[in-house]
């Protein structure tokens, strides 16, 4: 059982264009062609594409993903490299998650202010303070009142 590129697009959510682009970019060195030159995807290929989307979801650039897939193609000899690549990436993802978490909390705070009954008062106060700061420094007021 093999799949056409259209079927793979439907299964993965990636567009046909994207799949071809990935192939051309060297992310899919495992995909075989039939005699007509058509790509034929196996279930194992889908697994590997799933790994690619995991890496992409976590923000890995295509060039790094390509490197990883190339190493996968070379068999067990590249396990140390893959291990390093993935564990470095893991650290980056953890850091990124922490940053997002922090920013999210600050946004939640802003939302809480907007939802407060006295939101208008708060917002006005904040706006006035910033404008006063400009005036105090002899600067033009960029706020249209």
Partner DNA sequence: GCTTGCCCTTGAGTATACTCGAGGGTTTAT
Partner DNA sequence: ATAAACCCTCGAGTATACTCAAGGGCAAGC
Question: Which of positions 17-76 make contact with DNA (CB under 7 A)?
Answer: 17-18, 20-21, 23-24, 34-39, 56, 61-63
H runs (alpha helix) in 31-78: 43-57, 62-73
d(C-alpha 131, C-alpha 27), whole Å: 52
Site for a copy of itself (CB under 8 A): which residue of 13, 36, 117, 144? 144
d(C-alpha 30, C-alpha 106), whole Å: 44
DSSP string covering 101-128: HHHHHHHHHHHHHHHSTTHHHHHHHHHH
If binding means CB under 7 A, how many residues of this protein chain bind DNA? 22
Confirm if 28 and 18 have CB atoms less than 8 A apart: no
20 binds, among a copy of itself, DNA, none (CB under 5 to 8 A by kind): DNA
Residues forming contacts to a copy of itself in the complex (CB under 8 A) are 1-2, 29-34, 40, 42-45, 48, 51, 53-55, 57-59, 73-76, 79, 82-83, 86-87, 89-90, 93-94, 96-97, 99-104, 106-108, 110-111, 114-115, 119-120, 123-124, 127, 129-130, 133-134, 137, 139-145
């Amino acid at each position: 059982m093999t799949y056409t590129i259209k079927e793979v697009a439907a299964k993965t959510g990636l567009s046909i264009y994207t799949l071809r682009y990935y192939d051309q970019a060297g992310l899919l060195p495992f995909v075989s062609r039939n005699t007509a030159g058509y790509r034929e995807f196996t279930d194992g290929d889908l697994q590997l594409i799933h790994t690619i989307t995991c890496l992409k979801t976590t923000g890995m650039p295509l060039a790094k993903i390509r490197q990883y897939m190339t190493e996968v193609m070379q068999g067990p000899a590249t396990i140390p490299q893959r291990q390093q690549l993935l564990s470095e990436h893991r650290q980056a993802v953890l850091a990124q998650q922490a940053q997002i978490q922090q920013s999210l909390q600050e946004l939640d705070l802003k939302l809480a202010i907007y939802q407060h009954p006295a939101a208008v008062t708060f917002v006005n106060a904040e706006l006035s303070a910033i404008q006063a700061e400009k005036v105090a420094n002899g600067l033009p007021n960029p706020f249209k009142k």
